[in-house]
């Protein structure tokens, strides 16, 4: 049985971390994986999380199973964060939210759910997209296609191409859209462009699936989440996956959620029952700790305020690193224009470095993705000069 099984390909991004970990050069720098590091190069343990954990330690509670759909306080708090507390879909009980194992788990729940009820639809993801999008939807049994998204010439969005792609999709197609902080390019739509995308999605009867893994890393929680409200206002079915891996720095706790908007409370109840079936047949019910931490922070005004401040700090530091990277590259490699890095948002930049150049960076123990994607959130005041020197050298 096992002797004929081939090696599976490595995850192109997580594989970089494996190579990085094996590198013995003390000056090594990992710009591969999408993880936020502070100025000391450490993954932060947020103060709001520590305070919530201290509070939870005081009220030691037994570790019973959570409900299939997760902790009720968590689902409620997440729903209010994603849609806005005053959203009509909450008031009309048309939204359902289930706790999920990170953003990845939320995407997989949504994919399995959609496959069951729309088996012949095809899925469209941006060109390029997070590598796991294709793999996840294919593993749920879908054919996965690309829609035009990135324009390497402008380092921005190929907006006309994207709209043309949306208009050519068969009705019922599932479109995966990055709500903010596009991974891997860092190129987001403007608010005006979102309006046209929403029109095209709705007039063509497509099924939008918003993936929001970086809320708060672009312009702010409300600004980054605005697109969810606009889709709600436009009416029609909607799926939203969200993740707290980055925004709470809780990567390993696997905290995320899937929300679905139905046309009525009665329909929502049916959808929830079916989503619970998907959960039950995959992992039965989610883990307790991360959900409790996030629910505690979101529902406790002082902790919530602290979280928003800590999230803003992360966002501002990334922007500073973008500015410094551009300024330092201008000094060291004046014939190359990197101004576009300042226009990009979120953790990543499609730097324009070629696969060969990325290979040369790696010879100097600086790790990036072959596509030229770098994680700006891994730059800091101590490593940026070496990164700039090596980039200038390979250019
Ligand atoms: N979606 C996108 C676009 C991502 O970049 C990530 C990153 O990890 C995820 C989903 C998955 O989130 P999580 O790590 O919470 O599973
Ligand atoms: O794109 C990234 O780097 C993050 C982290 O299979 C990640 O989203 C990468 C690959 C993967 C899971 C998470």
List the chain domain ranges.
14-45+304-394, 63-299
> Is 186 touching ligand 1 by the criterion CB < 6 Å?
no
Average pLDDT over residues 235-239: 97
Q: Is the pLDDT of residue 11 over 90?
A: no
Q: How far does the chain reach from its first CA to its final CA, in angstroms?
A: 49
3-state secondary structure of 263: coil
User: At residue 120, does pLDDT exceed 90?
Assistant: yes
The predicted model gives 101-120 an average pLDDT of 98
Q: Going by C-beta distance under 8 Å and a sequence separation of 6 or more, which residues neighbour residue 23?
A: 365, 367
Query: pLDDT per residue over 65-94, tens digit each?
Result: 999 999 999 999 999 999 999 999 999 999
d(C-alpha 59, C-alpha 63), whole Å: 12
Contacting residues for 371 by C-beta, under 8 A, at least 6 apart: 128, 184, 350, 355
At 77, list the tokens.
């708090």
Mean local confidence (pLDDT), 153-182: 98
**Residue carrying the six token digits 């796991």:** 132
Q: What is the pLDDT of residue 378?
A: 98
Ligand 2 atom at minimal distance to the Cα of residue 11? 6
For residue 14, what pLDDT is reported?
A: 87
For ligand 1, the distance from its centroid to the CA atom of residue 256, given in whole angstroms, is 9
What pLDDT, on a 0 to 100 scale, did the predictor assign at position 382?
97
Q: Taking Cα atoms as reference points, which of 21, 11, 107, 31 lies closest to residue 347?
A: 31
**What is the SS3 assignment for 174?**
strand
pLDDT band at 51 (very low <50, low <70, confident <90, very high): very high
Give the pair of three-digit tokens for residue 24.
């013995």
Of the pLDDT bands very low, low, confident and very high (cuts 50, 70, 90), residue 60 is confident
63-299, CATH topology level: 3.40.640
If one residue of 125, 180, 213 were mutated to test the ligand 1 pocket, choosing by the most ligand atoms within 8 A of its CB, it would be 213
Mutate to test the pocket of ligand 1, among 245, 291, 376 (most ligand atoms within 8 A of CB): 245
| Long-range contacts of the stretch 139-144 (C-beta < 8 A, 24+) | 139/108, 139/111, 140/108, 140/111, 140/112, 140/114, 140/115, 141/115, 142/111, 142/114, 142/115, 142/174
Residue 32, pLDDT > 90, answer yes
Structure confidence at residue 26 (pLDDT): 95
Closest-lying ligand 1 atom to the alpha carbon of residue 254? 15
Distance CA 184, CA 348 (A): 6
- Give per-residue pLDDT as tens, 342-362: 999 999 999 999 999 999 999
What distance in angstroms lies between residue 131's CA and the mean position of ligand 2's atoms?
8
Catalytic positions, written as ranges: 130, 211, 246
CB atoms near residue 270 (< 10 Å)? 12
User: What CA–CA distances, in Å, run from 271 to 46, 94, 180, 252?
Assistant: 35, 10, 26, 29
Averaged pLDDT of the chain:
97
Does 63-299 match 14-45+304-394 at the fold level?
A: no
Q: What is the pLDDT of residue 359?
A: 97
264-293 confidence digits (pLDDT tens): 999 999 999 999 999 999 999 999 999 999
Kindly compute the dihedral angle of the four CA atoms of residues 323, 325, 331, 332, in this order, to the nearest 10 degrees: -170
Distances in whole angstroms, Cα of residue 76 to Cα of each of 51, 69, 177, 257: 21, 11, 24, 11
Domain spanning 14-45+304-394: which CATH class is it, in words? alpha beta
| Closest alpha carbon to 273 in 136, 122, 116, 87 | 116
221 CB within 6 A, ligand 2: no
What's the order of all strands across the beta sheet hosting 123-127?
95-101, 255-261, 238-243, 207-212, 174-178, 123-127, 144-148
CA of 213 to the centre of ligand 1 (A): 5
Q: How far apart are CA 245 and CA 255, in angstroms?
A: 6
pLDDT of 2 over the 90 cut: yes
Number of continuous H segments (helices) and E segments (strands) in the chain: 15, 13
59 φ, ψ to 5°? Answer: -105, 55
Expressed in angstroms and rounded, the spacing between residue 248 Cα and the centre of ligand 1 is 13
| Cα gap 241→210, rounded to integer Å | 6
CA dist 68 and 281 (Å) reads: 10
* Maximum pairwise Cα distance, the chain: 63
pLDDT of residue 152: 95
Pairing relationship of beta strands 150-151 and 156-157 according to DSSP bridges: antiparallel
Q: How far apart are CA 127 and CA 162, in angstroms?
A: 9
- Residue 284 is predicted with a pLDDT of 98
| Overall average pLDDT of the 227-250 stretch | 98
The alpha carbon of 184 and the centre of ligand 2 are apart by a number of angstroms equal to 10
Ligand nearest to the CA of 374: 2
Residue 103 Cβ inside 6 Å of ligand 1? The answer reads yes
Helix (H) or strand (E) run with residue 161 in it: helix 159-168
Instruction: Assess whether pLDDT exceeds 90 at residue 10.
Output: no
Specify whether the CB–CB gap between 228 and 240 falls below 8 A.
yes
């Amino acid at each position: 049985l096992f002797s004929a099984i081939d090696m599976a390909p490595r995850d192109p991004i997580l594989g970089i971390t494996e190579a990085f970990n094996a590198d013995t050069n003390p000056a090594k720098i990992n710009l591969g994986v999408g993880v936020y590091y502070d100025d000391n190069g450490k993954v932060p343990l947020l103060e709001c999380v520590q305070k919530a954990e201290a509070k939870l330690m005081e009220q030691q509670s037994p570790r019973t199973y959570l409900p299939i759909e997760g902790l009720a306080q968590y689902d409620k708090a997440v729903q209010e964060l994603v849609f806005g507390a005053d959203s009509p879909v909450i008031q009309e009980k048309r939204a359902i939210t289930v706790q999920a194992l990170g953003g990845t788990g939320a995407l997989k729940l949504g994919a399995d759910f959609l496959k069951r009820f729309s088996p012949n639809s095809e899925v469209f993801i941006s060109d390029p997209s997070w590598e796991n999008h294709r793999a996840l939807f294919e593993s749920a049994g879908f054919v996965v296609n690309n829609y035009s998204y990135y324009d390497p010439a402008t380092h921005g969005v190929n907006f006309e191409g994207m709209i043309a792609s949306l208009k050519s999709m068969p009705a019922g197609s599932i479109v995966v859209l990055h709500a903010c902080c596009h991974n891997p390019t860092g190129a987001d739509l403007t608010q005006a462009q979102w309006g046209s995308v929403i029109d095209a999605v709705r007039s063509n009867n497509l099924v939008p699936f918003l993936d929001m893994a970086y809320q708060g890393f672009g312009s702010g929680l409300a600004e980054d989440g605005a697109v969810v409200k606009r889709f709600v206002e436009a009416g029609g079915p909607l799926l939203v996956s969200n993740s707290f891996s980055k925004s709470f720095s809780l990567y390993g706790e696997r905290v995320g959620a899937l929300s679905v908007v139905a046309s009525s409370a009665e329909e929502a109840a049916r959808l929830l029952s079916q989503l619970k079936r998907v959960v039950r047949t995959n992992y039965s019910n989610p883990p307790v700790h991360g959900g409790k931490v996030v629910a505690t922070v979101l529902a406790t005004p002082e902790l919530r305020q602290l979280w928003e401040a800590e999230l803003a700090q992360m966002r501002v530091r990334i922007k500073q690193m973008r500015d410094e990277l551009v300024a330092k590259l201008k000094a060291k490699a004046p014939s190359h224009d990197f101004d576009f890095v300042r226009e990009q948002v979120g953790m990543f930049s499609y730097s324009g470095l070629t696969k060969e150049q990325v290979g040369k960076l790696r010879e100097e123990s600086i790790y990036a993705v072959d596509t030229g994607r770098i994680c700006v959130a891994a730059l800091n005041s101590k490593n940026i000069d070496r990164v700039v020197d090596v980039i200038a050298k390979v250019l």
